[in-house]
Amino acid sequence: MASDSKEVATDLSPLLKVYEDGRVERFFGSPYVPPSPKDPSTSVSSKDITISADFSARLYLPNVQDSSKKFPILVYFHCGGFCTESAFSILHHRYLNLLVSEANALAVSVEYRLAPECPLPAAYEDCWAALQWISSHVVVNSDTDKEHWLLSHGNFDEVYIGGDSSGANIVHNIAMRAGVESLDGDVKILGGFLSHPFFWDPEIKAENVEETMLYRVWKLVYPAPPGGLDNPMINPLADDAPSLSQLGCSRLFVCTSEKDELRERTGLYVQTLTKSGWKGQVELVEIEGEDHCFHIFHLESEKAKSLVKRLAFFINNN
């Protein structure tokens, strides 16, 4: 939305501008689309729900042939640098429709609060609270309002978390928290996928690192992190970060692309994880010739469809 103020406090074009009066003008992001009772291409049903005063979600249910059928549960966190995009955007809606159809999974796509209006750690707290709300469905005497799709069709023995870019960063942080904090009903995260994870890379090669877009986005979305940019939520490989052996899941699928500027950092993350003493299984995939989160923007391409099938295979083969 355009602002009447002409005084720009922060210019992160082509992403957004923040004006001195606090208003935010976003340039990047795809249009909102409503949920669908039945997607014509995939037969996936979707609906929107409000979980709390702070956040909501879009639920996706694959085509149900058997009313007693239970599906793996995928809790999904969208991309957008913590400051743009939405669980309700056309890009993420079509992506989740296809992924849910391929994986035959029930998905909860979380509409977490965005920076700079709600800087980090707001998104982390929203996504953890969403996961706790989902988990509460196994607690018989819980005061939580129960969602029919989760009660009737959710398999709480197969809970996955997944995300792209900033959403993949959230996946990492949620899994780390799940390693030291219990979920309601003692629900466990079976696995997670991190697609093109958005972490700060202190090895970024630039004469003026503070002028890079990566640095400026992090300073906008998390202006005062404890420990600065070596905060482990931003840089999980920092010297003082908790050991990755703490990750509270048993399987990880990590993917990046050849032209992604964070490719090397993603590879180092996987290397560090495998040496940490973590007892789980991790797979790293690199897509040749593609860039950061290419599959979100070019879902019709063969490489994007292939990646979605690999994600679906990961969810279906525990």
Q: What are phi and psi of 109, to 5 degrees?
A: -95, 115
Count, residues in the chain: 318
Q: Which of 126, 164, 201, 260 is catalytic?
A: 260
Q: Which of 162, 170, 184, 177 is closest to 251 using CA atoms?
A: 162
> What is the Cα gyration radius of the chain?
19
Q: Which of 45, 165, 195, 257 is catalytic?
A: 165
In a 3-state reduction of DSSP, which class is residue 127? helix
260 is catalytic: yes
CB 123 within 8 A of CB 170: yes
Residues contacting residue 279 through CB under 8 Å, at least 6 positions apart: 245, 250
In a 3-state reduction of DSSP, which class is residue 271? helix
Q: Which two tokens stand for residue 165?
A: 């870019």
CA-CA distance, 127 to 113, in Å (whole number)? 9
109 is catalytic: no
What are the catalytic residues? Answer: 165, 260
